[in-house]
Amino acid sequence: MEQKYIRNFSIIAHIDHGKSTLADRLLEITKTISKREMKEQMLDTLDLEQERGITIKLQPARMIYIANNGITYQLNLIDTPGHVDFTYEVSRSLAACEGALLVVDAAQGIEAQTMANIYLAIENNLTIVPLLNKIDLPSANIPVVKEEIIKILGEHEILEVSAKTGINVDSVLEAIVHEIPAPTGKETEPLRALIFDSFYDAYRGVVVMIRVVDGSVSVGQKIKFMQSDKEYEITEIGYFNPKQVKTNKLETGEVGYFAGNIRNIVDVKIGDTVTEFQKEASTPLSGYKEPNAMVFSGLYPVSTEEFPLLREALGKLKLNDSSLKYEPESSKALGFGFRCGFLGLLHLEIVKERLTREYNVNLIATSPGVIYKICLSNADMLTIDNPADFPDREKIDYIEEPVVKATILLPHEFVGAIMELCNKRRGKMLNMEYLTETRVLLFYQLPLNEILVDFFNQLKALSKGYASLDYEFSGYQVSDLVKVDILLNHETVDAFSFITHKDNAYFKGRELVSKLREFIPRQMFEIPIQASIGSKVIARETISAMRKNVLAKCYGGDISRKRKLLEKQKEGKKKMKSIGSVEIPNEAFLSILKIDSE
């Protein structure tokens, strides 16, 4: 299609403001999807997304729309996630678009990720089309929320819609056509297409999702990845509706995918530019700034034989989740695994779930941590993301921990409670602003490791669910940190070690020790469990020895059954990890290391 009839846009919003539901209506009105095929949040194609009711992955869909002026347009929408951990999905989507539909829940108003996403759209030079959603709700507060939007975006026309009931959604389509600019790529120049996502398909190899910026691309063409310098011949081209629909060609300004029997997954890099082989563009597109992993955890296969499977699965998953970082590591307690970097705890949990569901690897994840910088007495600097690498205390001069700048948006009556929470988490207030008379913006500097666990839940609980949080990495600060080790029967279990602020060590040590006591079954001897800092024990519990496990009877008719029973016990034991002669069932590891990702 000619560029002037193409509109590319993302739908952005805070979590749950109705992006995916709005996308449903757009797909429906444009008859991209028939009423019969329609289901809720159609673009949440992963099972995990449907189950949790949240979007995790960006998802493109092409629609054909005949506008009121009689002209037929091709609209390429990209639905995006709202959770802060998946901001990278949003920025990649925005780079493939000229505009963004900004959805704001009329009952909730502007929230922290609304702001964050607005700034992202502005940085990408996109035209923002704001709209109020959920106007059908009795609690919708249209004038106030409009005022909030105008405070941030300036004077603007703001559509009022209900994605659920469909009220006014037609006007959204008209606004897209009239307000969002058409792409302005150079049709006759050599091909330049931006890779904004990819995934692995067992039959076709890597499937690469692209936005064609200049030139065009068709089946049979030889292309080259500019950054990885690899060539392939295109075997399939298509677009999303949201299912993959094969076509012959993607033209300037269009969004779609191609496959080229790419088996070597490292050849495909998100943000790389695709150009034509032997007719190469002179400069690549600017690509993306790779996000830095903020949270680290060791992922280990539950059964050690699954290590190669895990390695392969991580490689394939990374194609579809380029923010995931991993490198091999080993643990005395858990064997071989990978130290992985994530954008946040929800990201960690989602990756774990996807590895389990999509690749069938059962995993244990060690306690999540952050990157610390340690200055040794000899002035050497160490950077560690694994408690196992924490040096002896005597050798340490000082330690720095990462801090974030947190933006908390909340109704003013909860300010007191939330400030108290932030103070408890060692936060430093940077600023406080009134967005409107009743809505307050709090800016805090907080240590990242203080907000990883249970911060968000607390925030929600203390504000009756009204406070929202966004944060970004802001630097390092010196801090009084210690490493807490857990000893089981006098042996350190590396998988349980963690680094924490000195003031929290005692409490967290106790908590973990008593959890262990609960989850480790009695064994044939008494097991002391200790938490220690260096050689100083800060918490202790004991699992008393099992005293009785015996079958009362075993006669001729019972033998097979009882043998099988004991064989099963033996099999169960094989599956346990043995540490300091203590057998720990995998369920115990899972329960103990279970994290609350909010």
Partner 1 sequence: MSSGIYIHIPFCSRKCDYCDFFSFKASSSYVDKYIDALLDEINSGKHQALSFDSIYIGGGTPSCIDASYINRILSRLYARYNLNSPEITIELNPETITCEKLQIYKESGVNRISLGVQSFASKNLEALGRHRMVDLNSLWPVIFSIFTNVSIDLMYGIPKQTLQNLREDLRSIPENIKHVSCYCLSIEPGTQLYKKSCNLNLPNDDLLLSMQETIINFLGIKDIYRYEISNYARPSFESRHNLHYWQYDNYLGFGAGAVSTISGERMENTKSMLKYLSRNYVESAYSLSENEQINEYVMLALRLIKGLDLSAFQRRFSKEKVNELLQRISDNNKFFYLKDNFAALNSQGLNLSNTIVSNLFL
Ligand X SMILES: Nc1nc2c(ncn2[C@@H]2O[C@H](COP(=O)(O)OP(=O)(O)OP(=O)(O)O)[C@@H](O)[C@H]2O)c(=O)[nH]1
543 binds, among Mg ion, partner 1, ligand X, none (CB under 5 to 8 A by kind): none
Long-range contacts of 471-475 (CB under 8 A, 24+ apart): 471/84, 471/404, 471/405, 471/406, 471/407, 471/446, 472/116, 472/404, 472/405, 473/292, 473/294, 473/402, 473/404, 473/448, 474/403, 474/404, 474/405, 474/445, 475/402, 475/403
436 versus 489: smaller Cβ distance to partner 1: 489
524 touches partner 1 (CB under 8 A): yes
573 touches partner 1 (CB under 8 A): yes
CA distances (Å), 91 to each of 78, 270, 554, in order? Answer: 11, 12, 67
- What's the closest the beta carbon of residue 564 comes to partner 1, in angstroms? 10
69 versus 549: smaller Cβ distance to partner 1: 549
116 versus 302: smaller Cβ distance to Mg ion: 116
521 touches partner 1 (CB under 8 A): no
List the one residue from 1, 555, 582, 592 that touches partner 1 (CB under 8 A). 555
Place of tokens 């009121």: 68
- What's the closest the beta carbon of residue 15 comes to Mg ion, in angstroms? 8
CB atoms near residue 524 (< 10 Å): 11
39 versus 570: smaller Cβ distance to ligand X: 39
Contact (CB, 8 A) for 43 and 72: no
Contact (CB, 8 A) for 120 and 92: no
Positions touching ligand X (CB under 6 A) are: 13, 15-21, 41, 53-55, 81-82, 133-134, 136-137, 162-164
549 touches partner 1 (CB under 8 A): yes
* Strand ranges for 517-592 from DSSP E: 527-533, 536-543, 577-579, 582-584
Backbone angles phi, psi at 377, to 5 degrees: -60, -30
- What's the closest the beta carbon of residue 566 comes to partner 1, in angstroms? 4
List the one residue from 151, 563, 575, 594 that touches partner 1 (CB under 8 A). 563
430 versus 559: smaller Cβ distance to partner 1: 559
- What's the closest the beta carbon of residue 315 comes to partner 1, in angstroms? 38
List the one residue from 562, 587, 591, 594 that touches partner 1 (CB under 8 A). 562
- What's the closest the beta carbon of residue 521 comes to partner 1, in angstroms? 11
24 versus 401: smaller Cβ distance to ligand X: 24
Residues across the chain: 598
Contact (CB, 8 A) for 314 and 324: yes
Positions touching Mg ion (CB under 5 A) are: 19-20, 55
**Contact region with partner 1 (CB under 8 A), list: 84-92, 244-252, 333-341, 554-562:** 554-562
Query: What stretch of H or E contains 449?
Result: helix 448-451
* Sign of the four-CA dihedral 386, 392, 393, 396: negative
List the one residue from 380, 511, 567, 587 that touches partner 1 (CB under 8 A). 567
**Contact region with partner 1 (CB under 8 A), list: 131-139, 152-160, 385-393, 563-571:** 563-571
DSSP 42: T
Write out the two tokens for 44: 């949440």
Contact residues for partner 1 (CB under 8 A)?
A: 524, 546-557, 559-560, 562-563, 565-567, 569-570, 573
